A and B are shown apart, each in its own frame.
Chain A
Amino acid sequence: MTICASHFGNRPMTWAMLAAGMTLMAHDAVAQSGDTIRIGTMFVTEGALASLGQEANRGLEIALAEFDGTIAGKKIVVFKEGTNATPDLAVQKARKLIEQDKVDVIVGPLSGGEGLAVKEYAKTVPSKTFVNGAAASQDTTMRDPAPNLFSFRVDGAQMTAGLGKYVYDEKKYRNVAIVAEDYAYPYTQVAGFVSEFCGRGGKIADRYWVPLGTKDYSSVIARIPSDVDAVYVVVGGADAVNFLSQYYQTGGKAPLIGGSITVDSDVLNSKGPFRSKIIGILSSSNSADESEAPEWQAFAKTYRARFPDGLPAPSSLAAAYYISMKAMLLGLQAARGDVSGNQDVLKEALRTLKFDTPTGPISLDQNRQAIADNFLMEVTSRPDGSLYNKVVKVVPQVNATLNMPREPYIAMGAPSRTNPPCRQVGKVL
């Protein structure tokens, strides 16, 4: 398999190297025109989410390795692009992949804001096929979707399925404050949590939106009312490490509920004294570090063998990119490698694709959005002192509207800083 990688893109030196590489590639393409399938992929390699991108790369590499570099006798050529989690760069990279690298299909992007931007771009190149990488903003597929964009990745709201009910029913929390980063993905997670929690009768004390990349949260922490039962926190990567350590340093008392990237394995494996404080934090995600499912165990085993320098267990981002890339490859296989014309065969194959993933069976709904299992977990310490998320509950086959009535759920409108308000959505099934 030829991998023409520009791992850490958007930089002059990389461009120069890429130009050199392209010359070689062009040569290659001419020689084997028609015999190759060109797959473009992108993930974050810079900024606060860089560690997630590293995991994404590991995940997609595992999927590629399963196919041994060929599909239906055609050679797979992969082009990788690095982004910095901003929508404009994501579109730039997608355009570069399509126009300069002449890729047939794209797997990506990683982050929620990027997903919305790439969706709009996808509409301008309707003949190409896009499989979402890990972007989990709701409107990547829910409202005004792109017909050529397929998401085998659940959105941020789906990843909260079961959490709001669980903390209301089991933990008896009634009044929760929210601290979340100020962009599409946390909006979506908060929307999912709020619609369930408030649907049961819970109250939201306040919602604090902090800029992505905030280092010092102490002022926000000081503002959290002291009478809340818990704080729902949706910040990721380095920001999560900062928030969590500052929360305990400044004497935060209320228990924390984690978003899907707040206490994921990226954060649990980060280095620092905050780690001893976070045991017991409840969170929800579409994958679980130590899931007992044989598919997950096999995936984790491959991951450890292939990336000895990786995390103790693959993170949800590694799983997401593995699933997304594998879905694309399975689709291509079903289409017998046909990427000509409008790629209708491939698109139909993806639409009807249903396969068993490390996180359970996944299929698509009418908007080409994943229906998948969801996991509720608790941060737990291994005997050797390292941390992992222990599965507390599995919520089977969650659809895009968290299995609530579809029409009223969609009618709530796109998640934002204030939407949805804290009230019952239609009638909970």
Chain B
Amino acid sequence: MLKLAVLSLLNGISVAALYFIVASGFTVTFGLMRTINLAYGSLFLIGGYVGYQVGDLTRNWYLAMIAGSAIAGLSGAVLQWGVLDRLRGQDMRQALVTIGLSIVAADVLLAVFGGLTYQFTPPDWMQATVSLGVFGGYPAFRLLLIALSLFIGVFIWAGLTCTRVGLAIRAGVDDREMLSAIGVNPSRLFVIVATCGSALAGLAGVIGGTALSISPGEDSRYLLASLVVTIVGGMGSIAGAAVGALLVGLLEQVGLLYFPNYSIVAVYLVMVGVLALRPQGLVRGTA
């Protein structure tokens, strides 16, 4: 039974790592810039599908990862520059426009890529099984996933706290006018943030498509996961996203193990609980 507990703990953490990568991009755009981008899930799917095509053509998983991030980042930048920036501060309009766009995107993707399921083929060494002694084997890719999410987390946190760009972003969130007064163009800055956030979504599309798979409907699934993770963890906080992702991932896996029929409900119960008792989220945002 200990073996089972350890395995499900690892599973929970690796799912959490995936959620964290998706949600970190979301929390940066949603939490820091206060732009509501409900087409975020579509960026995930676009990254995944385009990444797959590139990976299939070139037989190179790394190129797939780069292409997936790039196309999602680009789409995100266009979205921010062309649509969201013009609707700054109008939450409802941003929400409606992006929901509309996500619906269009979902249908276009279904038309282009069909309803079949895609799964990436990673390099051989990633497909290996790592021996965990008495606990049996564990897929190497999942361990890599955990490492990658840690790296991304530290990277974003350092970027926001220690660099001038990070400083400007945080300043722009607090007082946009003052920031432009000291010579920074907030619109351009926010496009950069949106690009990075969206690229993370695309990256997650490729990673998620390798660890699990991608198929129609994944867009809303990951958007929902990002929303829950961000709300539970606290908007705009990388540490919060990590805590939220861990909580959701572990709850999902442990739930699947011990009360499979109610594991989905459990996640939302936690969200309701957090909203009732600590509406700002478990970790206070930096902005």
Assess the B119–A271 pair: CB atoms within 8 A.
yes
Assess the B136–A251 pair: CB atoms within 8 A.
yes
Assess the A50–B139 pair: CB atoms within 8 A.
no
B87 close to A (CB within 8 Å) = no
Determine the residue in chain A with the shortest Cβ distance to B137.
Answer: A251
Which A residues are CB-close (under 8 A) to B263?
Answer: 211
A209 close to B (CB within 8 Å) = yes
Assess the A216–B253 pair: CB atoms within 8 A.
yes
B187 close to A (CB within 8 Å) = no
CB distance from B81 to the nearest CB of A (A): 23
Within the complex, which residue of B213, B260, B261 is in contact with A245, where a contact is CB–CB below 8 Å? Answer: B213
Convert B223-267 into 0s and 1s, putting 1 for each residue whose CB lies closer than 8 angstroms to a CB of A: 000000000000000000000000000001110110011011000
Q: What is the total number of residues of chain A having a CB less than 8 Å from a CB of chain B?
A: 47
Contacts A12-B100, A51-B114, A216-B212 hold; do A273 and B260 have CB atoms under 8 A apart?
A: no
Determine the residue in chain A with the shortest Cβ distance to B249.
Answer: A216
Extra pairs beyond A12-B100, A237-B215 (13, CB < 8 Å): A13-B100, A13-B103, A46-B217, A51-B215, A84-B217, A209-B260, A209-B261, A214-B256, A216-B11, A218-B253, A219-B253, A222-B11, A266-B116
Assess the A270–B100 pair: CB atoms within 8 A.
no
Which residues of B66-125 have CB atoms within 8 Å of chain A's CB atoms? Answer: 100, 103-104, 106-107, 110, 114-121
Between A and B, 26 residue pairs with Cβ closer than 8 Å are: A46-B217, A47-B217, A48-B215, A51-B216, A84-B217, A182-B260, A209-B261, A211-B264, A213-B217, A215-B212, A216-B11, A216-B212, A216-B252, A216-B253, A219-B4, A219-B8, A219-B11, A219-B257, A220-B260, A222-B257, A241-B117, A250-B138, A251-B137, A267-B117, A272-B213, A309-B114
Determine the residue in chain B with the shortest Cβ distance to A266.
Answer: B116
B52 close to A (CB within 8 Å) = yes
Within the complex, which residue of B212, B254, B260, B264 is in contact with A208, where a contact is CB–CB below 8 Å? Answer: B260
| Separation of A50 and B111 alpha carbons in the complex (Å) | 12
A428 close to B (CB within 8 Å) = no
A54 close to B (CB within 8 Å) = yes
Which A residues are CB-close (under 8 A) to B264?
Answer: 211
| Separation of A208 and B263 alpha carbons in the complex (Å) | 13
* A-B complex: 10 closest residue pairs judged by Cβ atoms: A272-B119, A51-B115, A238-B215, A50-B115, A238-B117, A270-B117, A219-B8, A47-B217, A54-B115, A50-B216
Within the complex, which residue of B100, B106, B116, B212 is in contact with A271, where a contact is CB–CB below 8 Å? Answer: B116
A171 close to B (CB within 8 Å) = no
Which B residues are CB-close (under 8 A) to A48?
Answer: 215, 217
B171 close to A (CB within 8 Å) = no
Which B residues are CB-close (under 8 A) to A54?
Answer: 114-115
Which A residues are CB-close (under 8 A) to B110?
Answer: 8, 45, 50
Determine the residue in chain B with the shortest Cβ distance to A310.
Answer: B114
Assess the A182–B52 pair: CB atoms within 8 A.
no
| Separation of A51 and B114 alpha carbons in the complex (Å) | 7
A168 close to B (CB within 8 Å) = no
Which A residues are CB-close (under 8 A) to B15?
Answer: 215-216
Assess the A273–B137 pair: CB atoms within 8 A.
no
A11 close to B (CB within 8 Å) = yes
B129 close to A (CB within 8 Å) = yes
B7 close to A (CB within 8 Å) = yes
Convert A176-193 into 0s and 1s, putting 1 for each residue whose CB lies closer than 8 angstroms to a CB of B: 000000100000000000
Which residues of B191-230 have CB atoms within 8 Å of chain A's CB atoms? Answer: 212-213, 215-217, 221
| Separation of A245 and B139 alpha carbons in the complex (Å) | 11
| Separation of A309 and B115 alpha carbons in the complex (Å) | 12
Which B residues are CB-close (under 8 A) to A208?
Answer: 260
A274 close to B (CB within 8 Å) = yes
A223 close to B (CB within 8 Å) = yes
A337 close to B (CB within 8 Å) = no
Convert B121-150 into 0s and 1s, putting 1 for each residue whose CB lies closer than 8 angstroms to a CB of A: 100000101000000111100000000000
B56 close to A (CB within 8 Å) = yes
Determine the residue in chain A with the shortest Cβ distance to B114.
Answer: A54
Which B residues are CB-close (under 8 A) to A245?
Answer: 119, 213
Which B residues are CB-close (under 8 A) to A424?
Answer: none
| Separation of A8 and B106 alpha carbons in the complex (Å) | 10
| Separation of A209 and B139 alpha carbons in the complex (Å) | 24
A53 close to B (CB within 8 Å) = yes
Assess the A222–B256 pair: CB atoms within 8 A.
no
| Separation of A46 and B107 alpha carbons in the complex (Å) | 9
A210 close to B (CB within 8 Å) = yes
Contacts A250-B139, A272-B118, A272-B119 hold; do A211 and B260 have CB atoms under 8 A apart?
A: yes
A249 close to B (CB within 8 Å) = yes
A269 close to B (CB within 8 Å) = yes
Which A residues are CB-close (under 8 A) to B56?
Answer: 271
